[in-house]
Structure 1
């Protein structure tokens, strides 16, 4: 049996005589050629349309070749599907035959992939279309047998979207037809790299053979390489590899491939047809579920950037795609006879759960703060219940004062909360009736609810029952074993409740920490104590900046490890503490361990991203923000991605994320403010003003008002700018950015004395500052007050702290310009201009001095000089 070497292309011979068999068609040019056939572009003179005419080459017109093209005609005549090239006409003349087919203005899949950078959604869409075309053929009993990238044509529809068309059914077979004429010349028809193992081995074929070929196409499209690279030893060696050797693992070709896609590719490329999906419809459903996951989330919880995240920004965690797995299971397990119901398809969808404020009506008899303690007990029970659920994470949530229920749900949607627990109590003296609700913030509806009565003088028993009842609101697959009831003495429990009642106001002391440590020694198997200790330890660290409090948290975790406390809970607490240390290596080590336990970590990743953002390490901040958004693509997590991009000067990326958030979630006002800031810095001042003023006036925070003031300033609307800046100082009287903005406005109005008074205020406020952001304002003030030497020293210092910060670069450029250091000022101005900063930012007198300096570059002069 001879096997043709795969993918040997032959150049079309335009000098071949053209058979058309009818005056209806006029040949215009040659479109391409293969081993046996040649395809021409022709005009249909009757219907005034372009068509493709396929005929045999003269040197290939054997009986076998004629049989093949005749069979292709018979099969295409049965097929009528938008994802299969249509047959319009068959021309016959003295035994020769030509096919008149739909002309596709486009290219084949492989060059289309090379010439474009398609998104994951576009790739999935094309694969879905190929599945639909195959399904149509298979339903008619037709097997393609040569499905490959070169036989997939890509056109565009009226919307400019890519459309896949399957072509070249030349060696296709109908299971109802005798195919002996197709192989009687002792050749294996088709391309080796597109063949299934059973086709190479000459075994009987069914539709699953085409699905193997589809797997090779999907692998190349998604992973950027082929599952079986062309073997240097030739076609026979390649055939041996396909039939006997494993394909390249998808994760090796694309290390960050979403897990369900890797699973699907592995199944399509299984050697045994029985281990592949049973039909193209099942494969379509798998791709469709993955495709729809993005679209549905886009409208509910801001996964509008998931395409970017999966195709450009590497995702280190695969668990975001667990959300898809449950849906895939329904279609794949049932349709594939149970084969797809393996472990990866049984993983739980991550839950991000918040506890809403507890509502209590009526009076409670007991101590003076009985109602407050009851509220604390209920809230604590609900929070503890979350820690006992698999694949679930507690999202901190404290609504603003006076925020109504709908506004609270809105905030939960921003945070990407999948479920919220809400408790409502009706109390009378010592008896309370409690209603527990599990709410879906995305739709504002109750998923599950329960109610019962408890006695307030039996709070420990009530806490235990409330916690277990809350767990029961979730599917049983999420439930760990029920909490082991650890009963404290009444006195100890009272101390415990009083301590955690002060948690929300962060009014805890070192003494509280000591009390809880002692309680953990007395009740070593109470997991709730360890979580509260860590929370208080981190709160104390934030208030005092003393790392000894964090060490207390680490020490108590080490103790707990030897006390048979749930390891997953302890690992999450340890990771939580690590977010305050800022040790990337340690955080990544712990995160890797946590991921193995299928615990959602988006909240901790976001916390770590925020930490690095505040430290000025935007590269690290962006990396962790992307991971958080991939796991839980909430508005808040995506907003973190945008902020880190924006401050690092990646304006196009930041703008894209913000615009998609706003499109999907029009009430996420921080995104409007951030977008206004980006447009302002990019010189799109009208767009900046539109974005900022879209925010209702009563919802504009001082930062938003500050941005509006800067926007007016850059538009040279100085009176409006001054008014907006002064409004900011009503809320934050010592805000350095606003004071500096007022000083700059006075400079533009020629009020030098007033400007200097503002700069002196900045010096007073930054006397003991050590952060890069505060020091940059001090440097500007010093330079304007003729203390350039000290200003330059500070500039060097803050550049070391935040070498990539756009605002630092701008401030340093201003300092050098004021000091007359023209070359240094020129360097940083060029850098800012190159990254897209608007020329309006350089209207200050200090920058305009550069226009008369011979050492300043033409680029700078052209950009900033009037």
Structure 2
């Protein structure tokens, strides 16, 4: 079986290659992230990969995230290699889709056993896509998404003819943490009843088979929508206000999303943005002794670095609340309008991005574009305040302010 070893350190690369070659693997090596990604995207990609977390050009954790998000990519078992052994780093790697995690220096016997286990799993998974499932009451059409532990299928509800997206967890691969998070995602989504949040239709939760069926959104992510449609600034602001409406509903159910980003907002063909993926959400009123959420998980740096609030980037779990979601929404708006990140972190690695957000003030929009509307500049500055107390205090308030700005702008033009 073909195995990719990707590490920019030639000593580690040669040591690992020398260790695994006698075990019968067809070894290919990469000296940096771009070479590794090219190997994994080739016509005959490795089915197993050892990826160093930090590499030039593209980090191993980012490569893992990319191939796991790609529904057309064959299942690849990814083991991340890193010298960092903190629990928050392990969680970040697994959240990126990694199947396993090893810290350096690597013990040869441990690596051999991990690779053997990985090989058994890979051999049980079809190389192109997972076997089409059978779900009572639904007619499964085709796969539309695939990650390390779950697949998403386009399906039709037989009784009503309504189309749905069914997310199914592979119980044989899912850890207890993944399964518990999936169960919480179902619990959270069942609380929602808002046109701006994808609705859940049905669910089943048993350790050997777990799924939920949700509204199928025929459209694209918000990022794709903005990139391809190139909407006017006023239209972008209108959509951000609609996202705030959906968040306000979630927050009123005492739910914080914690991973607001363009790929977690889908836009229907009619132009309605809908929030999806509440997998990292948590209760705003989590009790300290609640067994459903451990200190390790709550204290970890969960989420996507570019859209983190300063308190998230600092892993200050006590300060992360609904206002952290508002910071992420404002970051999206800033990026869409200015094509720049508030902290200038667009091309940085994960750790550098978090450090920048945690330790620096967000830039003013007018510092990037002196002709930027001063009223909107003030709105963004308030949304992106380092201190949550200085931001708008609710998503509803933020939506109202954005709509008032649009009304004032329209009135000024009419004069």
Range of TM-score over shorter length: 0.5 to 0.7
Any conservation in 2 of the 1:193–1:228 contact (CA below 8 Å)? no
Distance in structure 1 (CA, Å) of the matches to 2:309 and 2:172: 29
Any conservation in 2 of the 1:107–1:153 contact (CA below 8 Å)? yes
Distance in structure 2 (CA, Å) of the matches to 1:185 and 1:169: 15
Do structure 1's residue 104 and structure 2's residue 220 form an aligned pair? no
1:180 partner SS: coil
State the match for 1:407 in structure 2.
none
State the match for 1:381 in structure 2.
none
State the match for 1:124 in structure 2.
237
Question: CA, structure 1 residues 245+192, in 2 after alignment: closer, same or farther (shift >3 Å)?
Answer: same
Do structure 1's residue 278 and structure 2's residue 388 form an aligned pair? no
Of residues 355, 361, 371, the one that matches 1:240 is 355
Q: Could you report, residue by residue, the CA deviation over 1:343-377 in whole angstroms, capped at 9, with x for unpaired residues?
A: xxxxxxxxxxxxxxxxxxxxxxxxxxxxxxxxxxx
Do structure 1's residue 16 and structure 2's residue 73 form an aligned pair? no
Do structure 1's residue 249 and structure 2's residue 306 form an aligned pair? no
Q: Could you report, residue by residue, the CA deviation over 1:591-613 in whole angstroms, capped at 9, with x for unpaired residues?
A: xxxxxxxxxxxxxxxxxxxxxxx
Distance in structure 2 (CA, Å) of the matches to 1:35 and 1:182: 24
Q: Could you report, residue by residue, the CA deviation over 1:244-303 in whole angstroms, capped at 9, with x for unpaired residues?
A: 0233331244442211211111111111111111111110111110222345x3xxx7x3
Any conservation in 2 of the 1:5–1:191 contact (CA below 8 Å)? no
Question: CA, structure 1 residues 176+186, in 2 after alignment: closer, same or farther (shift >3 Å)?
Answer: closer
Question: CA, structure 1 residues 18+260, in 2 after alignment: closer, same or farther (shift >3 Å)?
Answer: farther
Query: Aligned-pair distance for 1:109?
Result: 0.7
Distance in structure 2 (CA, Å) of the matches to 1:33 and 1:73: 18
Q: Could you report, residue by residue, the CA deviation over 1:549-603 in whole angstroms, capped at 9, with x for unpaired residues?
A: xxxxxxxxxxxxxxxxxxxxxxxxxxxxxxxxxxxxxxxxxxxxxxxxxxxxxxx
Of residues 265, 288, 292, the one that matches 1:152 is 265
2:335 partner SS: helix
Of residues 183, 204, 210, the one that matches 1:91 is 204
State the match for 2:322 in structure 1.
207
Any conservation in 1 of the 2:284–2:322 contact (CA below 8 Å)? no
Distance in structure 1 (CA, Å) of the matches to 2:172 and 2:244: 35
Question: CA, structure 1 residues 145+185, in 2 after alignment: closer, same or farther (shift >3 Å)?
Answer: closer
Of residues 268, 283, 291, the one that matches 1:174 is 283
Q: What is the TM-score of this pair, normalised by structure 1?
A: 0.32
Query: Aligned-pair distance for 1:136?
Result: 0.4
Q: Could you report, residue by residue, the CA deviation over 1:171-197 in whole angstroms, capped at 9, with x for unpaired residues?
A: 101134435348459853221112111
Q: Could you report, residue by residue, the CA deviation over 1:20-74 in whole angstroms, capped at 9, with x for unpaired residues?
A: 5x33112212222345433221111111021011123567511100111111110
State the match for 1:816 in structure 2.
none
Distance in structure 1 (CA, Å) of the matches to 2:193 and 2:155: 22
Distance in structure 2 (CA, Å) of the matches to 1:185 and 1:16: 32
Any conservation in 2 of the 1:171–1:182 contact (CA below 8 Å)? no
State the match for 2:273 in structure 1.
164
The aligned length equals: 294
Of residues 331, 340, 348, the one that matches 1:225 is 340
Question: CA, structure 1 residues 167+283, in 2 after alignment: closer, same or farther (shift >3 Å)?
Answer: same
Distance in structure 2 (CA, Å) of the matches to 1:267 and 1:36: 39
Q: Mark the structure with the bigger radius of gyration.
A: 1
Question: CA, structure 1 residues 36+149, in 2 after alignment: closer, same or farther (shift >3 Å)?
Answer: farther
Query: Aligned-pair distance for 1:140?
Result: 1.1
Distance in structure 2 (CA, Å) of the matches to 1:224 and 1:231: 9
Distance in structure 2 (CA, Å) of the matches to 1:196 and 1:60: 32
Distance in structure 1 (CA, Å) of the matches to 2:376 and 2:62: 27
Distance in structure 2 (CA, Å) of the matches to 1:216 and 1:169: 19
Distance in structure 2 (CA, Å) of the matches to 1:182 and 1:140: 22
Any conservation in 2 of the 1:106–1:153 contact (CA below 8 Å)? yes
Do structure 1's residue 77 and structure 2's residue 186 form an aligned pair? no
Q: Could you report, residue by residue, the CA deviation over 1:648-707 in whole angstroms, capped at 9, with x for unpaired residues?
A: xxxxxxxxxxxxxxxxxxxxxxxxxxxxxxxxxxxxxxxxxxxxxxxxxxxxxxxxxxxx
Higher strand share: 2
1:9 partner SS: helix
Question: CA, structure 1 residues 213+59, in 2 after alignment: closer, same or farther (shift >3 Å)?
Answer: farther
Question: CA, structure 1 residues 153+282, in 2 after alignment: closer, same or farther (shift >3 Å)?
Answer: same
Distance in structure 2 (CA, Å) of the matches to 1:139 and 1:220: 27
Query: Aligned-pair distance for 1:123?
Result: 1.1
Gaps of 5+ in 2: 1-52, 55-59, 75-127
State the match for 1:266 in structure 2.
381
State the match for 2:247 in structure 1.
134
Distance in structure 1 (CA, Å) of the matches to 2:133 and 2:302: 25
Any conservation in 2 of the 1:132–1:284 contact (CA below 8 Å)? yes
State the match for 2:162 in structure 1.
49
State the match for 1:66 in structure 2.
179
Any conservation in 1 of the 2:183–2:205 contact (CA below 8 Å)? no
Distance in structure 2 (CA, Å) of the matches to 1:228 and 1:34: 30
